[in-house]
Structure 1
């Protein structure tokens, strides 16, 4: 029952306390580590850049794996407490909702500021509808990245699975870009993140199915722009009935999104997340998940 109790306590931590301080947050550590490598490595050639980026990524992943094993070396009570802390650091439910809630602003400049905190695109020239779309897209995509995927790998591989996934996802967020600096340096991290998110992204879509089965399936069929990220965005667009688009990347049809649609998206978010929590609890309770039998 240890895996179940660890998850329940970590879940309560998330709802009651939110995110740990940045200074002691493992995800922040992963980001700073790869940022250090990214900053000191002088680009040379595509092959050397790829090898350097792969080596740096593997170092961070190894650090995450080693960190996940630390609770096993400690006294039982202390190991349990650290395990809860580390598992909590791998997923973010309450804080994701709060970040998106902050984007619901009547003042467009305030909204632009808060949307800019949760998306990587340039928001300086986005109009109201595109700002609303960006906030909803971020919410939908992060259901996979911040909740479904880390807990999926926790079910499969225990704490190591959750932390290694979080390290890979952080690597992708930091260096997984197609710009001149990261095209080859971040390629390994980006491709590994694509691989690890392949199943979780589709699980996320399945969680939307009870809300509008026919339309979710229809929009899922149209989600052919990206390997994973557009799948939950398509599902959210289908359920909300609004267009969600990132210029030059993807476009799902519907009416123009409003501030109220961000609020509706958050209500849908809690339903979908509740479904996934129920699935995780059921699998842990019945003992059928591999992490219970290492």
Structure 2
């Protein structure tokens, strides 16, 4: 029952207040560690791989150590800290807010808003591909920011949720296949692939009630990436729109508009609600190790 209360309060915090201040946000702390070492490390292929691997292990160990702190405190401090750390591992409201800002007829404002949620150069994108990028980001981060952290919370408790979030942060910062990060971020990127393998496909299952034939049809086309294209394919299937990252993947459909971003946000709310109900139901059964303080 304590775990269900902590989860409910963490979710309520997220929906009403959004993200904690950056100064005390664990995800920001992970990013500070990564940024500090990234700026100071001299590049070189073989040393890069070992340095990146060591950095990943350091950040994971830090996240694990944080997640164990509540277990060393007496109630109610233990529950309060667990609630705070659990909230920091997922983000429902902030993702919705970031994507909602891309719904505008001002192309300059749209480019600026989309640039906040994708890594690609938005100056090179036309309106159709800006709309596509916004919807793609929503679909991919539905997995990364909501489904996956809560999946690992169910599976491994608070340490699972926080370690997943640390690995996902590492991948977002250094998990790129370019000259700077090809070797430095390789271990983090592969670890993120492993951790997201099941959640990405679980996310697809959550779309099935919204049109299972179309979702499965698009899923069969998702052969471009190990994980990230799977939720994107499912979202594209439900909306019936073309989602494309040039040179990487393309799912067929009509050109997306602002109205399609609004519809994507409604789909997002439905899928999130499904997942929250599932998570709460599993916690209520007491079969998972979610929170044994």
**TM-score bin, normalised by smaller chain:** over 0.9
Match of 1:30 in 2: 30
Match of 2:250 in 1: 251
CA distance in 2, matches of 1:160, 1:208: 28
User: Any idea what the Cα deviations from partners look like across 1:144-187, whole Å, max 9, x if unmatched?
Assistant: 00000000000011110000000000000011011111111100
TM-score by length of structure 2 reads: 0.98
Contact 1:3 / 1:158 at 8 angstroms: preserved in 2? Answer: no
CA distance in 1, matches of 2:275, 2:259: 25
CA distance in 1, matches of 2:70, 2:285: 24
Match of 1:194 in 2: 193
Match of 1:241 in 2: 240
Q: CA deviation at 1:287?
A: 1.4
Q: CA deviation at 1:292?
A: 5.5
Match of 1:66 in 2: 65
Structure 2: tracts of 5 or more residues without a match: none
Any residues of structure 2 matched to 1:112-261 within 5 Å, and which? 112-261=111-260
Match of 2:53 in 1: 54
CA distance in 2, matches of 1:251, 1:205: 17
Q: CA deviation at 1:126?
A: 1.1
CA distance in 2, matches of 1:11, 1:293: 19
Q: CA deviation at 1:43?
A: 1.3
Contact 1:284 / 1:292 at 8 angstroms: preserved in 2? Answer: no
Name the stretch that deviates more: 59-68 or 280-289. 280-289
Q: Secondary structure at the match of 1:225?
A: coil
Q: CA deviation at 1:293?
A: 6.8
- Is 1:288 aligned to residue 291 of structure 2? no
Q: Secondary structure at the match of 2:123?
A: coil
Q: How many residues align?
A: 293
Q: Secondary structure at the match of 1:251?
A: strand
CA distance in 2, matches of 1:26, 1:149: 17
Q: CA deviation at 1:289?
A: 2.0
Match of 1:12 in 2: 12
CA distance in 2, matches of 1:174, 1:204: 23
Match of 2:275 in 1: 276
User: Any idea what the Cα deviations from partners look like across 1:206-236, whole Å, max 9, x if unmatched?
Assistant: 0000000101000001000000000000001
CA distance in 2, matches of 1:119, 1:23: 23
User: Any idea what the Cα deviations from partners look like across 1:112-162, whole Å, max 9, x if unmatched?
Assistant: 100010000000021111110000000000010000000000001111000
Q: CA deviation at 1:6?
A: 1.1
Contact 2:56 / 2:188 at 8 angstroms: preserved in 1? Answer: yes
Contact 2:158 / 2:291 at 8 angstroms: preserved in 1? Answer: no
TM-score by length of structure 1 reads: 0.98
Structure 1: tracts of 5 or more residues without a match: none
Name the stretch that deviates more: 283-292 or 93-102. 283-292
Q: CA deviation at 1:75?
A: 2.2
CA distance in 2, matches of 1:238, 1:152: 24
CA distance 1:232–1:192, shift in 2 (3 Å): same
